[in-house]
Structure 1
C-alpha cells in the first residue's frame, strides 16, 4: 500500500527535489555532511535558519540542515491536495523524476480526503514505478548510485519490487499494487484500465521457475485481466493502445495453447485466438517503442501457431509414403514413430521421444518420400523442426534444427519451420526462422542444401530468393506469421 509513513504525523513536510543533496551538521556550505539525500526523500521540518531548513530524516534517523532551494515544503493537509496533484501531473511523465513523482503522490494521498481520491494517483504511481523498474533492468542503463538510491527511496512509500532471475540476470519488476487499486475503482477510465492491465501482465515479469501448472494458472489470470476491458471501453482507446493489448493477448493465448496441447487437450480455440489477436494489430498504428513487443508476440504466436490448425483426419495411405504416429513413452513423454506399409509401430523405420508437443498436423513429405519434416515444440516460446531423411546406407536419420542458426544456445525464444522443397540434382529445403537472441530479434529465410543441411543462401525477405519464388509451400505461405 502506498503510504507516507516517514512523515505521517508531521505538521510540515519537505520533499527533496535534487539528487545528492547534502544533509549538513549546521546551516553552512562548509559544514560537514551528515548524509546524502536523494530525490523524493521526505524530511520533517523543524525550523529555518540562514536559508537552510532544520530537518529530521526519519528514514536515516538523523537530523541536520538542508538548503531551502533543494527541497519543496508542504503541510500535506487537505488544502494542499490540489497543488500536490498538479505537481504530480507535471512530473509523472518525466523520465528520471519517478522517485520525486511517487513522493508527491504519497503526499497527495495523505492530504486528500478519502472521498476525493480516485484512480489518478494510483495510475501515476504504477506508471512511474514500472518505468523506474524498466530503466533499472535495461541493458542500456549504466548502473549508478542515483538509480540505486531512487529504487531504495521509493520503498519508504510502499513501492515493492519483485526480482525475476532469467538467464543469469535479474529482471526488476514492480509488484503492481497500485495498478490493482486502479482496476478496483469503477471510475477508472479505459486508458487507466489499459495501463494497469498491461502493467500487470508483462511476459518478462513471470518467474521462469514456475511449475507448468502454476504457469498456466498465471496465464489464465492474465488472460482474464486482458479481457477485463469491455468492447465499448476498447472502442474509446487510441489505436496504438489497442495494439498493445492485442500484442499482449496474442502472447498470453499462445502460451495457453501450448499448455493445453501439452496436456492432450483441444488447443485450437486458444491457438486461433492468439493468431487472431496478432492479425488484428494495425502495423501502421504501431508505436516505434512497441516494435520489439510486436516481434516478440510474433515469435510467441509463431511457436504455437500449429495449435490453430485442424488436427489431421482420416487414415494415411501407407502404401504410398511413410507417415508419423505418436505413442506414449515415460509419463509426460511423447514418442514419434515413422511407419510405412512394411514397418508398423512395433518395428518403425525411426523412433524418437520428446517431452515437447509434437504437431502432427505440420508433417510434410517430399514427392519422392525420402524427406519428412515435423514441428516439435518443447517450450511455449521455442519450436524446432525435426528433419527425417532416407539414406540408402543408414536407413532413416533424424536431425533437429533449432530456431537460431550458428549459436542456438544463445537464443531464448524462436521458431523454425518448413517453407518448401526445391527438387533437382541437388535438392534443397526451404526454411523460415525467427528468434530473439540476447535481446536482439532476427528473421531470415534460408535455402538449405540436402543432405548436408548446410545453408546455401539466406535473406531477410523471401522475395529476393529465387527458390522461394518457385517452390515455397502454399500452405506455409497461408499460415505462417513470418510474412506479416
Structure 2
C-alpha cells in the first residue's frame, strides 16, 4: 500500500503498462502494470516518469501518457469524486474506479465522506466479481485476474462460492454495509440492501443454523430500507428480493418445532404478499427472470401459509388421509390411512428428511390415489403420489424437473373423471431458463400425456382444475 504521507500519486489508466529499468522503450521490463495501480512519483525524464510501485516493491520508469497524476489534498477531493461518479457506470473500468474511490477517501475530510463513494466502491467490486464469474469455464482472462489483484491491494475482498459445479465470485459487501451505516440517499441504501442480500451469494456450505441466521439478517436488512420515495422499478426489485427471502424463512421456520407453526405461516404469508405487491406495469424487462425466480421460491414454500390437517384422518366410507409421525432423527414418516380401516396397519409408509406439507394432501374421490407436497429444500418441492394398483399400494416421487435440485416445484391441480388421469402444474429453472407447464398426467405411468403453457390451452385442465388449487397457486400470476 502507498505511504500515507504521499500527497501526489500516479494512477495507471492503461492495462499492460510496462514498468522499465530506464526511460526508453528498449530498456528491460521490470513489471507489467494494470489500470488502477497507484504509484509513488519520484521524478521525471523526458516522456517518462520515475515511479515506485509499493505493491510489487519495484521502481522504474513508465510513460507519462499511461498514468494520471493526482494530488491527494482536501481541495482535490471534489475532482476525484467527479471521476468516481463517471466511472461508476463504465463497464470494464472497475479497477480504475476502485483506485479513484480509494484516492478520494484519502483526500476528502472525514466530515465530507458519506455513502455515495462507498456505493460506487461496492458497485465497482460487485461488477468486477460478476465479470470474473462469467469467465468461469472459459479461457483464462488475464485482464480480469489482474484487475482482481488490483482490487485486493485496496482491501476489496472477494468470496468464492461453489454453485452449479462452478466457482462463483461474490464481493464480501463491506462497502455496502458502510452505505447503510452512513448518510446516504434512499436509493443508495436500497441498492446496498439488494447487493447484500443476493440469493446466489449465500454459501451452500452453511449449516442449517447458520443459514437460518443469514436469512434472518437478510430479511432485517431489506426491511430497514425506506421505500416511500423510491422509483417503482426499485420498489419492485425490493419486493422480489423480500419475497424470495421470506419464502426461504418459511421453510426454515417450519423445520424448527420449537418455534411452533405461527412463525412459518407468518413468513409464508409475508412472501405471498411481497409477490402480490409487484407493480407489473412498472416491471423492467431485465427483471422478468428475477420475477420468475421469486415466484418459484414463493410457490415452493406457499403451503406453510395454509392450516395443517387434523391430527386424525377424515372418516369417510372410502376416504384416504395421511398421518405424519417422527421417524429416525430428522425424519418425518407418512402413513397412508384408509378411513374404513383406520385402526389397521397403514398399507404404505414412506419417510423423508424433507418437510411434509400435510395441508396439501388431496385424495381421489374413488379412494385409489392421494397426493401430498414434500419439500426437501427451500427452493425445491416435490409431489408424492400414493396409488393403488394390482400389486397394492405404492408411492412415487414426482420432481419438478429431471435436472439437479435447484429451483422448482410441482403441485397437484385436480382429478380428471375416469380415475386414470390427474392435473399438475410445475415451474422450474432449466438450463438457465424458467418454464411454467400445466400438465395432464397418466396416473398409471405418471407420464405427461399433454401439456401447455396456459391452463386455457389444455381442455381437461380448463374443465377439471381444482378450485382450491386455483385459489392458492402462484403459477397463475
Cα RMSD (Å): 1.7
Following superposition, the deviation at residue 362 of structure 1 comes to 0.6
Q: Which residue of 1 aligns with 2:247?
A: 254
Deviations 1:465-484 (A, max 9, x none): 11111111111111111122
Q: Which residue of 1 aligns with 2:420?
A: 427
Q: Please, which of 179, 201, 205 is the counterpart of residue 197 of structure 2?
A: 201
Equivalent pair of 2:318/2:366 in contact (CA under 8 Å): no
Deviation at 1:99, TM superposition (A): 0.7
Query: Secondary structure at the residue paired with 2:322?
Result: strand
1:462 to 431, 452, 455: 455
Classify the secondary structure of the residue corresponding to 2:227.
helix
Residue matched to 1:416: 410
Q: Among 308, 314, 320, which residue is 1:322 paired with?
A: 320
Task: Give me the whole-angstrom Cα distance separating, in 1, the residues matched to 2:137 and 2:324.
Answer: 48
TM-score by length of 2: 0.95
1:304 corresponds in structure 2 to: 301
> More displaced, 86-95 or 291-300?
291-300
Residue 439 (structure 1) aligned with residue 432 (structure 2): yes
Q: Which whole-Å CA distance do the structure 2 matches of 1:254 and 1:139 have between them?
A: 31
- Contact 1:254 / 1:380 at 8 angstroms: preserved in 2? yes
Paired with 1:283 and 1:336, the residues of 2 have a C-alpha distance of 40
Deviations 1:1-55 (A, max 9, x none): xxxx324322320111111111122222333322111110111111112211111
Q: Say if 2:311 and 2:323, in contact at 8 Å, map to a contact too.
A: no
Q: 2:145 aligns with which of 144, 148, 158?
A: 148
Shift of 1:408: 3.1
Partner deviation per Cα, 1:443-482 (whole Å, 9 max, x = no partner): 2221111211111111222221111111111111111111
Is 1:239 paired with 2:232? Answer: yes
More displaced stretch, 453-462 vs 274-283: 453-462
CA contact 1:6–1:156 (8 Å) conserved in 2: no
| 1:372-451 pair list within 5 angstroms | 372-391=370-389, 393-404=390-401, 407-409=402-404, 411-424=405-418, 427-451=420-444
Contact 1:412–1:437 (8 Å) recurs in 2:
no
Do residues 224 (structure 1) and 220 (structure 2) align?
A: yes
Residues 364-404 of structure 1 show CA distances to partners (whole Å, capped at 9, x for unaligned) of 1122111110000011111000011111x211111100010
Gaps of 5+ in 1: none
C-alpha displacement of 1:345: 6.6
Q: Distance in 2 between matches of 1:382 and 1:342?
A: 34
Q: Which runs of structure 1 show a deviation greater than 6 angstroms over 4 or more consecutive aligned residues?
A: none
Give the secondary structure class of the aligned counterpart of 2:329. Answer: coil
Partner of 2:308: helix, strand, or coil? coil
Contact 2:247 2:271 survives alignment (8 Å): yes
Q: 1:473 aligns with which of 458, 466, 469?
A: 466
Say if 2:10 is the partner of 1:43. no
Counterparts of 2:466 and 2:153, CA distance in 1: 59
**Which runs of structure 2 are paired with 1:10-409 in the superposition (5 Å)?**
10-138=6-134, 142=138, 143-185=140-182, 187-229=183-225, 233-264=226-257, 265-266=260-261, 267-313=264-310, 316-344=314-342, 347-391=345-389, 393-404=390-401, 407-409=402-404
**In structure 2, C-alpha distance between the alignment counterparts of 1:65 and 1:107, rounded to whole Å:** 22
Structure 1 stretch 147-156 or stretch 443-452: which is displaced more?
443-452
How many residues of Structure 1 are paired with residues of Structure 2 in the alignment?
471
Preserved CA contact (<8 Å) 2:136 2:167: no
| Residues 178 and 346 of structure 1: CA distance in aligned 2, closer, same or farther (over 3 Å) | farther
